[in-house]
Chain A
């Protein structure tokens, strides 16, 4: 028997946290005014580029939901001298990834490639931005695939709960009330002309921001960016229409999935916008509630009760106020007790005020999340790209770090009292209605509204 050394018997002392290292960035503009931020990093022999467009699915009108997203999807279906297959081949030959996608507030063209082929990949990106083919044959194929994927979305309970909870929270007329990918029925109203129109109106250098991170050849970067993107023409970008108020929302909604072995639970409530001064505090508050493994929600539902593989919460900080959501996928037979515990944890943010330990944990967690986000090439591009999307200055990471360090436990308690309202949440559940409705009613919840996978009355 080996004796246990003394050092094993207690936790080692821990020195203070190291400072977060924010990489230094170079900023310049191309001849067409396109702003560029470049951050050199040579840990891996790769380069990441994020080109952000400040218009996303929020720019869609309700009856054409999916337009922004299909525009992005069409842009790399052939560009410049290459048709769709030739274009895909050229990228693969360079070992480069290029993808074009859309979120609520913005669209994005991203490139990741080995450093040796980055400038060639950049030229292909320039073709996508300035010279996409947007051909009729590709459009019919892409539209058909999208229509099928919106049908397949009904198979995925996590995707269904996203669609239905956003629709109930924001309403049909609100820019965030519909799925980015659209509904099957709205896709039928789209045309290639609409795609061309969206591209012409929003994909403009004066509506864009570029981050290049990684092991690029520094002396050549500016000239190669100018060559690839300098001919991109500016045009005034229209402003957004006024935003309708949020509609009243039901307390309980069920999307029936007969025989489902799990219920997917989502509690949604109005959130806060990206530029709100509350954001650092809310991020910390969320770390306590459901933003880390030892958070209250996960500890209660997973570790204490074994109801779920994981419970979490998050704020979506968007250009307009976004949402707060708490979520868990639970044993079907644990649905009602899980809802009860989740509501209790939301109420607990008032009744059991955030402790000094929870405050310290939230602070360290968020600080190290910033440090980790800035520790990879892709993470640096994503961090600075998001800043560009919301027009934030380059010292935003430093400001965020300073704000986290300045937020006290009392600040968090006051913020919880002001922002977390368990009674305000809509509870959306994708699960076996016959098995879960009765026990949910016994919790004192009202009769549920019943929706289908698109959020239509069922």
Chain B
């Protein structure tokens, strides 16, 4: 039975608290999830959840900019935040003597951020985020292709239609009143969970959480848009882009079951058997034996409202995407009809479980996993349930889950070298 030890309780204002003690190092990690991501953005304001994450470091009433970073770094702590389609997390890692400071800083920005945010701060972080977009997508080989996957797979009204980083035009349009409105709607204790991991005394930490978060007013959890029905593409879609790259790359995507839905774990295992290692089917057929591709990959991109199953390969010099696509399709069709062998399934499962154990080595990763289960399953106690999905998958269940995905319509995205445009 796999278990990450924890205690959990809920404050009167709705904040979920999760405590995980580990005294093997004199460190603590504070990991705070807000249940808001790019899926909660409004049209014309794509990228806002992520831009907002940046603004959370722009100071609060009692810790004016730049004290958030300056105070913790002066004691050797560090921090970051990340935004996905589904959620936003903030974390701090540092020596145990900083735990109270971390809680105070997080609590103060939850209590006061909209009172102190300014146009000037928004403007500065807008530029930082626009640089992030350029660095992570526009100036990175094949990065531009990643940006068109969401719009190709989801209709305009779907919450996954746009990428988390947003568009330059929407980032430009964001205002301070958008910031206040977004904060007011989503940054509430009842829409968050706070995981604290590391070297602490449980009684002391409960008192500290109460001191800094307990007084904050209760407000109901935000109203959500109705969950969209699972969708399929009506027809196959082909998109062709050019980029500053030497070699053409093929990328395929299908709709797939949502995170923790039936088939989600099976598709992780299928992805491993298809594109996970040297003897995975795509790697072996295209790279190792066929020598027509430089790389080949497959992965299940699991999200709460619905997942995408991705496959891709980069053509070797002298080979084109028609040849690569034909070879990929032959492998996918074969896998959909025969499924993995028992040995392939065992390898995929062992690799997955081993990766899971490795994640448990890191303090903040454990805190983040507890928050993840709290958000998706409604309880931090999800490790065993999570892992059991992979243990109980069979060759038939993997085959069937994959065959259902492959039967759907797909996106074919081709990224070609710029020279090929003419």
| Interface residues of A, Cβ cutoff 8 Å to B | 2, 4-5, 7-12, 14-21, 41, 43-46, 84-85, 88-89, 92-97, 112-114, 141, 144-145, 148-149, 151-152, 154-157, 257, 259-262, 264, 292-294, 299, 302-309, 329-331, 357, 360-361, 364-369, 371-372, 374-378
Cβ-based interface call for B357 (8 A)? yes
Nearest Cβ in chain B — how far from A276, in angstroms?
Answer: 23
Nearest Cβ in chain A — how far from B375, in angstroms?
Answer: 23
Q: List 7 A-B contacts (CB under 8 A).
A: A2-B217, A17-B95, A21-B25, A41-B24, A43-B360, A148-B294, A377-B361
Cβ-based interface call for B101 (8 A)? yes
A376 to B93, CA, bound (A): 13
A14 and B75 contacting across the interface, CB-CB below 8 Å: yes
Nearest Cβ in chain A — how far from B278, in angstroms?
Answer: 4
A92 and B294 contacting across the interface, CB-CB below 8 Å: no
B100 and A12 contacting across the interface, CB-CB below 8 Å: yes
Cβ-based interface call for B252 (8 A)? no
B73 and A365 contacting across the interface, CB-CB below 8 Å: yes
B354 and A361 contacting across the interface, CB-CB below 8 Å: no
A378 and B361 contacting across the interface, CB-CB below 8 Å: yes
Q: Determine the chain A residues whose CB is within 8 A of the CB of B135 once the complex forms.
A: 262, 309, 329
Within 8 Å by CB of B294, from A113, A145, A366, lies: A145
Task: Give the segment of B125-133, B301-309, B400-408 that binds chain A.
Answer: B125-133
Cβ-based interface call for B139 (8 A)? yes
Range of interface residues on B (Cβ < 8 Å): 35 or more
Within 8 Å by CB of B278, from A85, A262, A375, lies: A85
Beyond A148-B317, A304-B124, A331-B130, 10 additional pairs, beta carbon < 8 A = A12-B104, A92-B347, A95-B351, A96-B354, A257-B244, A364-B75, A367-B76, A368-B76, A368-B94, A378-B358
Cβ-based interface call for B89 (8 A)? no
Q: Determine the chain A residues whose CB is within 8 A of the CB of B129 once the complex forms.
A: 309
Within 8 Å by CB of A14, from B101, B284, B360, lies: B101
A306 and B131 contacting across the interface, CB-CB below 8 Å: yes
Cβ-based interface call for B31 (8 A)? no
Nearest Cβ in chain B — how far from A159, in angstroms?
Answer: 10
Nearest Cβ in chain B — how far from A100, in angstroms?
Answer: 13
Within 8 Å by CB of B244, from A4, A21, A155, A367, lies: A155
A261 and B247 contacting across the interface, CB-CB below 8 Å: no
Kindly identify, within residues 82 to 97 of chain B, every residue whose CB is under 8 Å from any CB belonging to chain A: 93-97
Q: Determine the chain B residues whose CB is within 8 A of the CB of A41 once the complex forms.
A: 24
A261 to B347, CA, bound (A): 43
Between A and B, how many residue pairs show CB distances below 8 Å?
219
Q: Determine the chain B residues whose CB is within 8 A of the CB of A303 once the complex forms.
A: 66, 124, 128
Q: Determine the chain A residues whose CB is within 8 A of the CB of B362 once the complex forms.
A: 376
Within 8 Å by CB of B73, from A17, A151, A292, A374, lies: A292
Within 8 Å by CB of B123, from A113, A306, A368, lies: A306
Kindly identify, within residues 1 to 54 of chain B, every residue whose CB is under 8 Å from any CB belonging to chain A: 22, 24-27
Majority secondary structure of chain A interface residues (helix, strand, loop or mixed)? mixed
A306 and B128 contacting across the interface, CB-CB below 8 Å: yes
Within 8 Å by CB of A361, from B74, B123, B276, B358, lies: B74
Kindly identify, within residues 343 to 390 of chain B, every residue whose CB is under 8 Å from any CB belonging to chain A: 343, 346-348, 350-351, 353-354, 357-358, 360-363
B95 and A18 contacting across the interface, CB-CB below 8 Å: yes
A302 and B128 contacting across the interface, CB-CB below 8 Å: yes
A184 to B100, CA, bound (A): 54
Q: Determine the chain B residues whose CB is within 8 A of the CB of A305 once the complex forms.
A: 127
Contact (A371, B95) CB under 8 Å given A10-B62, A85-B284, A141-B291: yes
A409 to B189, CA, bound (A): 43
Q: Determine the chain B residues whose CB is within 8 A of the CB of A45 once the complex forms.
A: 357, 360
B26 and A371 contacting across the interface, CB-CB below 8 Å: yes
B22 and A43 contacting across the interface, CB-CB below 8 Å: yes
Nearest Cβ in chain A — how far from B82, in angstroms?
Answer: 14
A368 to B28, CA, bound (A): 11
Give the residue name and chain of the B residue nearest to A257 (CB). B244
Cβ-based interface call for B153 (8 A)? no
Give the residue name and chain of the B residue nearest to A138 (CB). B288
Q: Determine the chain B residues whose CB is within 8 A of the CB of A374 once the complex forms.
A: 25
Q: Determine the chain B residues whose CB is within 8 A of the CB of A154 once the complex forms.
A: 246
Cβ-based interface call for B320 (8 A)? no
Cβ-based interface call for B70 (8 A)? yes
Q: Determine the chain B residues whose CB is within 8 A of the CB of A367 once the complex forms.
A: 76
A175 to B380, CA, bound (A): 52
Task: Give the segment of B208-216, B222-230, B232-240, B254-262 that binds chain A.
Answer: B208-216
Within 8 Å by CB of A85, from B95, B279, B361, lies: B279
Give the residue name and chain of the B residue nearest to A154 (CB). B246
Contact (A331, B131) CB under 8 Å given A88-B277, A92-B350, A156-B141: yes
